[in-house]
């Protein structure tokens, strides 16, 4: 068996978007990913489905695997012919012990590549509004380990040089030794009132910053219960934080938002949450797929085969459009057979999806984005005796077809897609809900509500409703709010328009809605 290759990759300080392009390529290529606790779990979602995950996380007081064993593991996997990505927080060559791992790989002739990452020593202060250099304060910076090892103590550091010859001092992994660090610097000449900042979980949702001076920062940290992982920044540049702190001013900073929408539809919602400073956590409880029933497929194919017979073709969602035209292509059906039919759509997104196929609606797009409003619009233009085809999903409401039949139309309903429950990646979501670390849960349809409840139950949650009551809920549309109400959960946020953009804008603005009983939601 030929030798594999080991990529020693810096994952950056935590924000998954701070990984390098080369680092992402290594994740996607890997047969095995060996990772630690400071690498964002969201990066692992970019791996191959069949890749193996090995967690070797370390905390200051506990090692899942000793460094020597990690070194040997990488060698063994490489000799087995595996493509291995060793994913490390920050930059692997800045106190990341990459040299030790690379040395052993070299000794065994296992090919390797060191992929630099953005070090937390620079990125974390930047996320707190503190540049490590500034022309008005200092042009030098030192990065120092703040963690003691048996063979390296603080007595071996040149404290006098650090105190007198360096501008900004950045200590990594030093919270436990903060008092000693402060005392040594003061002893060797740093002023007691020199500004200090501690930044915990920098660039993560949990980012916290504590500011003080060399004289009082240790006491403040103890009073605040400030624990690792944290970066210590010492120097005049800390004064810039008050003016330059940027991410903390974003409306969703510090918020972890659960996205339950199908992965194929979630990108816009995820991007908007990130843009406003929140952390989107994707748990697509709905998987959208073509109908699995032979009978449903037969009815769909039959309807597509006689499209020229319909006076109206009605689409109620973007999914309906995409799966309908996909099936037309599979059947090699010419789109021109729609020339004799009028087209109607629920909502502007559905209309835009149609326009992408060169199809334009013949009715005004309803302002309220739901089937009831479309029914009102159609009532102005349809005539008794006309034939209408409704291209919907398997969970579509019956109000629209029943309303059209009441107007004298002959209605054919076909399922062009179906919603299937998915629990993939749910263990992490369940753990975060139990720990109270999900702040907002979003629902874009009634099926996302029912599927999330069922998914949590299958994952072992005894009372899914209680878990969700520990978060704020945001939903699109009154029908989704009604579904939440059946679980005795009030929707804290419901946008005026049934769009993702309006949903995120409503959450960010803090404008709470009335719940299903007409009462203010808790905490309003």
Q: Name the active-site residue from 5, 15, 31, 36.
A: 36
36 counts as catalytic:
yes
58 counts as catalytic:
yes
Q: In this structure, what token pair is assigned to residue 171?
A: 């200590």
Q: In this structure, what token pair is assigned to residue 269?
A: 């919602």
> What does each C-alpha distance from 293 to 286, 297, 355, 394 come to in angstroms?
18, 6, 29, 11
440 backbone dihedrals φ, ψ, rounded to 5°: -140, 135
The Cα–Cα gap between 292 and 302 comes to 16
Are 375 and 314 within 8 A, CB to CB?
A: no
164 counts as catalytic:
no
The Cα–Cα gap between 46 and 196 comes to 37
Q: Name the active-site residue from 58, 220, 239, 250.
A: 58
The Cα–Cα gap between 245 and 248 comes to 6
Q: What is the CA radius of gyration of the chain?
A: 29
443 backbone dihedrals φ, ψ, rounded to 5°: -130, 130
Q: What is the β-pairing status of strands 195-200 and 230-234?
A: antiparallel
Residue from 304, 306, 309 nearest 327 by CA: 304
SS3 annotation, 130-192 = CCCCECCCECCEEEEECCCECCECHHHCCHHHHHHHCCEEEEECCHHHHHHHHHHHHHCCCCC
Q: Name the active-site residue from 31, 173, 328, 453.
A: 173
**Catalytic positions, written as ranges:** 36, 58, 173
């Amino acid at each position: 068996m030929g030798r594999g290759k080991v990529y020693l990759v810096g994952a950056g300080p935590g924000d998954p978007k701070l990984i390098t392009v080369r680092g992402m390529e290594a994740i996607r290529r890997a047969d095995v990913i060996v990772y630690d606790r400071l690498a964002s779990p969201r990066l692992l979602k970019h791996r191959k489905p069949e890749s193996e995950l090995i967690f070797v996380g370390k905390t200051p007081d506990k090692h899942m695997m000793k460094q020597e064993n990690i070194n040997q593991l990488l060698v063994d996997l490489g000799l087995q012919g595996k493509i291995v990505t060793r994913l490390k927080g920050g930059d692997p060559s800045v106190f990341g012990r990459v040299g030790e791992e690379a040395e052993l790989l070299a000794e065994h002739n296992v090919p390797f590549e060191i992929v630099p990452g953005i070090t937390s020593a620079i990125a974390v202060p930047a996320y707190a509004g503190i540049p490590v250099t500034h022309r008005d304060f200092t042009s030098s910076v030192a990065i120092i380990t703040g963690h003691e090892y048996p063979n390296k103590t603080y007595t071996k550091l040149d404290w006098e040089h650090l105190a007198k010859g360096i501008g900004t001092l950045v200590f990594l992994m030093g919270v436990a030794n903060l008092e000693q660090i402060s005392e040594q610097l003061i002893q060797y000449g740093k002023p007691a009132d020199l500004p200090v900042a501690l930044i915990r979980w920098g660039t993560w949702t949990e980012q916290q910053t504590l500011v003080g001076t060399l004289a009082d920062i240790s006491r403040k940290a103890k009073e605040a219960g400030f624990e690792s992982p944290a970066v210590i920044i010492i120097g005049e540049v800390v004064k810039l934080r008050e003016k330059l702190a940027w991410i903390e001013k974003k409306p969703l900073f510090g918020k972890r938002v659960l996205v339950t929408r199908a992965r194929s539809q979630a990108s816009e919602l995820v991007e908007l949450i990130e843009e406003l400073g929140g952390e989107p956590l994707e748990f697509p409880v709905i998987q959208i797929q073509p109908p699995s029933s032979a009978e449903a497929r037969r009815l769909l194919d039959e309807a597509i085969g006689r499209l020229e017979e319909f006076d109206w073709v009605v689409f109620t969602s973007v999914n309906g459009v995409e799966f309908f035209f996909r099936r037309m292509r599979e059947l090699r059906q010419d789109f021109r057979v729609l020339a004799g039919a009028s087209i109607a759509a629920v909502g502007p997104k559905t209309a835009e999806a149609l326009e992408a196929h060169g199809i334009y609606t013949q009715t005004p797009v309803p302002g309220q984005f739901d089937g009831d409003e479309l029914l009102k619009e159609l009532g102005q233009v349809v005539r008794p005796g006309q034939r209408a085809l409704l291209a919907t999903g398997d969970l579509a409401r019956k109000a629209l077809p029943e309303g059209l039949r009441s107007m004298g139309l002959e209605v054919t309903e076909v399922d062009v897609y179906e919603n299937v429950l998915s629990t993939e990646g749910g263990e992490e979501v369940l753990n975060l809900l139990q720990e109270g670390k999900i702040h907002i849960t979003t629902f874009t349809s009634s099926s996302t509500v029912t599927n999330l409840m069922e998914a949590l139950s299958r994952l072992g949650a005894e009372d899914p409703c209680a878990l969700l009551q520990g978060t704020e809920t945001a939903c699109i549309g009154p029908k989704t709010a009604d579904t939440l109400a059946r679980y005795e959960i009030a929707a804290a946020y419901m946008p005026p328009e049934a769009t993702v953009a309006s949903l995120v804008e409503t959450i960010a603005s803090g404008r709470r809605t009335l719940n299903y009983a007409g009462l203010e939601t808790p905490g309003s």
